[in-house]
């Protein structure tokens, strides 16, 4: 049997209450006694049974997820995953709630963070927007010893405990590598479609993409980045214009969420010479395009993984427990039409 608090008490010659005070770092114990207890703990190799402790405390973990509102389909999928986590929360003594904030609005995000902080949750997950004020707000949470994980989009320079999302530089590098090899030496310029260069994720993807293109496939020139604001109509227009202006274009990297507009533009030039296309995020639109051969590969981040990972990390941090690094690394999934998963999307 694993040693219990009783064993510590016996080994140290004190009562349970004293052991408990030492274990929970509460005041009211002489240093001598404390040392004796701590040595006993060390000696017999005690590890606390968190489940029993939670039972005794009737502890529940109130976690808050702060997500952007709006009709971005990736974010809506993310929200659905949070709802799924919410549903199975009670089984593990967790109560998850969602706070929505207008997308890309730092000011609103700061307000939400401070409001959430006032409710003293056991942990907060947030899709970050980069700004000094947001960093400060996150740091206020941390100052209150509230664990914070950034979700999908990180917040460099903040004191967040963890980032649950993919390495976007690596994603861009992968895109370049695939595109370059798929083209197999066929010369011609490459177009890049982004949502906005104001978001960190998009910038990082572009950086990674550029680096590998320059290094490994210097024969291709990159056309000026198209910023479609992730808006279908605008994107379609800009892409069509760009392709018309550079008829020799052989490849497109769509690193943002503007795939609907991109696909529409591609469909209109069915009989034109083929263009190799790499896009991000597996949605029903990109999945269909993949199957039709309009898109050649999709790089995806699994929102379900990200949410479950965020929850696990928040709980671990709340318990002061260790995190399994490898388990929490979110991989970039590469989908071709031949390895699409069956039921999602």
Partner DNA sequence: CTGTTAGCGCGTTCAT
Partner DNA sequence: ATGAACGCGCTAACAG
**16 near DNA (CB under 7 A):** yes
Nearer to DNA, 30 or 270 (CB): 30
Decide: helix, strand or coil at residue 228.
coil
Site for a copy of itself in 90-149 (CB under 8 A): 90-91, 93
Q: How far apart are CA 331 and CA 301, in angstroms?
A: 7
Q: How far apart are CA 261 and CA 75, in angstroms?
A: 18
Listed residue (269, 273, 231, 283) closest to 248, CA to CA? 273
Among 27, 31, 32, 47, binds a copy of itself (CB under 8 A): 47
Listed residue (2, 323, 35) closest to 164, CA to CA? 323
**319 near DNA (CB under 7 A):** no
**176 near a copy of itself (CB under 8 A):** yes
Nearer to a copy of itself, 20 or 344 (CB): 344
**62 near a copy of itself (CB under 8 A):** no
Tell me the backbone φ, ψ of residue 269, rounded to 5 degrees: -120, 40
Nearer to DNA, 18 or 158 (CB): 18
**318 near DNA (CB under 7 A):** no
Site for a copy of itself in 263-322 (CB under 8 A): 296, 302, 304-305, 308, 321
The two beta strands, 276-280 and 251-254, are parallel
The answer to whether the beta carbons of residues 45 and 3 sit under 8 Å apart is: yes
Q: How far apart are CA 205 and CA 275, in angstroms?
A: 20
Nearer to a copy of itself, 21 or 305 (CB): 305
The two beta strands, 61-68 and 94-101, are parallel
Q: How far apart are CA 282 and CA 73, in angstroms?
A: 10
**76 near a copy of itself (CB under 8 A):** no
What stretches of the chain show up as alpha helix (H) in DSSP? 5-12, 16-23, 31-44, 50-57, 73-88, 106-118, 132-143, 168-183, 200-216, 232-245, 259-267, 284-292, 303-319, 325-328
**323 near a copy of itself (CB under 8 A):** no
CB atoms within 10 A of CB 293: 10
**5 near DNA (CB under 7 A):** yes
Q: How far is the CB of 287 from DNA (least distance, A)?
A: 42
**83 near a copy of itself (CB under 8 A):** no
Q: Measure Cα distances from 91 to 85, 96, 118 in Å.
A: 10, 12, 26
Partners of 151 in the beta sheet?
Answer: 164
**106 near DNA (CB under 7 A):** no
**57 near DNA (CB under 7 A):** yes
Nearer to a copy of itself, 188 or 232 (CB): 188
**14 near DNA (CB under 7 A):** yes
Nearer to a copy of itself, 133 or 319 (CB): 319
**55 near a copy of itself (CB under 8 A):** yes
Q: How far is the CB of 41 from DNA (least distance, A)?
A: 10
Instruction: Quote the DSSP letter at residue 127.
Output: -
**Which range of residues in 17-25, 171-179, 182-190, 335-343 is near DNA by CB under 7 A?**
17-25
For binding to DNA (CB under 7 A), which residues are involved?
1-2, 4-6, 13-18, 20-21, 23-24, 27-30, 32-34, 46, 48-49, 52-53, 55-58
For binding to a copy of itself (CB under 8 A), which residues are involved?
1-2, 47, 49-52, 54-55, 58, 84, 88, 90-91, 93, 167, 170-171, 173-174, 176-178, 181-186, 208, 212, 296, 302, 304-305, 308, 321, 324, 326-327, 329, 331-334, 336-339, 341, 344
């Amino acid at each position: 049997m694993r040693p219990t608090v009783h064993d510590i008490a016996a080994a140290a010659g004190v009562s349970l209450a004293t052991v408990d005070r030492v274990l929970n770092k509460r005041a009211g114990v002489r240093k001598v006694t404390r040392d004796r207890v701590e040595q006993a703990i060390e000696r017999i190799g005690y590890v606390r049974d968190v489940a029993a402790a939670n039972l005794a405390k009737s502890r529940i973990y109130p976690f808050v997820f702060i997500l952007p509102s709006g009709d971005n389909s990736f974010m809506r999928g993310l929200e659905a995953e949070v709802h799924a986590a919410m549903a199975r929360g009670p089984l593990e003594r967790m109560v998850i709630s969602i706070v929505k904030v207008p997308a890309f609005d730092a000011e609103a995000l700061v307000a939400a963070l401070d409001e959430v902080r006032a409710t003293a949750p056991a942990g907060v997950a947030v899709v970050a927007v980069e700004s000094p004020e947001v960093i400060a707000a996150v740091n206020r949470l941390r100052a209150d010893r509230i664990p914070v994980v950034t979700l999908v989009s990180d917040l460099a320079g903040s004191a967040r405990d963890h980032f649950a999302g993919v390495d976007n530089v690596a994603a861009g590098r992968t895109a370049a590598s695939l595109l370059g090899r798929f083209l197999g030496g066929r010369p011609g310029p490459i177009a890049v479609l982004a949502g906005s260069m104001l978001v960190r994720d998009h910038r990082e993807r572009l950086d990674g993409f550029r680096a590998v293109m320059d290094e490994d496939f210097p024969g291709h020139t990159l056309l000026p980045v198209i910023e479609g604001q992730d808006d279908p109509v605008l994107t379609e227009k800009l892409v069509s214009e760009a392709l018309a202006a550079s008829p020799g274009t052989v490849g497109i990297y769509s690193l943002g969420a503007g795939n609907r507009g991109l696909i529409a533009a591609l469909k209109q030039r069915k009989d034109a010479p083929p263009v190799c296309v790499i896009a991000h995020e597996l949605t029903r639109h990109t999945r269909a395009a993949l199957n039709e051969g309009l898109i050649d590969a999709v790089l995806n981040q699994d929102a379900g993984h990200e949410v479950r990972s965020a929850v696990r990390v928040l709980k671990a941090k709340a318990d002061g427990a260790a995190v399994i690094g490898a388990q929490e690394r979110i991989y970039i999934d590469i989908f071709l039409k031949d390895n699409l998963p069956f039921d999602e999307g």
